[in-house]
Each structure stands twice: as C-alpha cells, then as structure tokens.
Amino acid sequence: MKKIITALFLSVGLVSFGQVTTNPDTVCINAVGEQYFVTNTPGSSYSWVTTGTLASGQGTNAITIDWGGTAGLYPNAVSVTETTVSGCPGNPVNLDVYIMDLVLLGTGTYCITDPTFTLFANEVGGTFSGNGVVGNDFDPSLAGTGTHVITYSLSGCSQTMNIIVDNIPVTGPIQHY
C-alpha cells in the first residue's frame, strides 16, 4: 500500500494545492513491503530514516519498509530530508506510525446449545466475519458443529481465530440390571 508522507504545497499565483496523509499512519504488525513516497523534485536526493527496516529506495523519493513485531505508536517512525541538486537540505518531514496487533477474545470450544455470545478484539471499529457470525456475535447453533475460522478486519489488518462447536451427547435410556 503506497503512503504519501508529506504535505506538498505548490504555489501558482495565489493558489495552493495540498496533499497530506493521515498522521499517524497505521500498519499491521510484521507488515512487509509498505511503500512510502514524497512528490519527486527532479535533481533532488532524499535521505530516509525509519524505525522499521528500509528494504529499498534510499536516495529516491519512494521507499519500501518492512515493519517489526512490536506493536505500539512510534513517533517520527518515517522521516525524509530532501536535498536540492545544489546541495541545500530542506527541513525533515516526519510521520508517526502505529503498528497494530489485533488480539481476539472468544476462542475455545462451545456446545451447539450454548447461547449466542459477543466476540471481542483489543482494537474496536473492525468487522467480524465467518460462519455463525452476525454483527459482533457468534451463534453456535447457526454455525453448526465443527471448527469455524472467524476473521476480524480493521484498517487493512486482519486476525483469525478458531471456534469449535461440539454436539451435545446423546445418552441412552437408563437401564436396570
């Protein structure tokens, strides 16, 4: 996913055109190949600094970053300084990055006769999907017996969990010896 990290203001007479990305940016934990760029100025070079792993693009206006496995908000996680062809450096442009790790609650084994229950995630505002899911609820009788993969999606990230639904036992009649 390409992400514009700068605010570029070009003046034409008294008219300004602006382009801005949301700060902080949100990426999934362990995301690989996330692309960031600024508008290219011919002849300029670009020096990038990141708390992620810079995979490619140093010196150009576009880079690719691989993010790590520690969730949280990283202030100034991506920074770029443009230097003109004549060697004049500009001011750094910074972007905070929030690395999201979705954690789901509700995994386990349930009986087909258990009541509907609410699914939970540590980050709110996403969408649950899967067999037996209605909104944020899981209905064992609607899902049926078996193992059900439930997916939670938020801001381009997703996490899955398994919910197992078992039948209730069928016990034979009581007999006397």
Domain edges within the chain: 2-100, 104-166
Mean pLDDT over each residue of the chain, to the nearest integer = 89
Q: How far is CA 106 from CA 69, 77, 139, 160, 162, in A?
A: 23, 33, 12, 11, 9
Using one digit for the tens of pLDDT, what is the confidence trace for 6-20? 433 333 333 334 446
Average of per-residue pLDDT across 82-105: 95
Q: Which of 122, 126, 114, 119 is nearest to 72 (CA)?
A: 122
The letter for the amino acid at 45 is: S
Rounded to two decimals, the pTM is 0.76
- Give kind and range of the element (H or E) at residue 167: none
Q: What is the third-level CATH fold of 2-100? A: Immunoglobulin-like (2.60.40)
Using one digit for the tens of pLDDT, what is the confidence trace for 62-87? 999 999 999 999 999 999 999 999 99
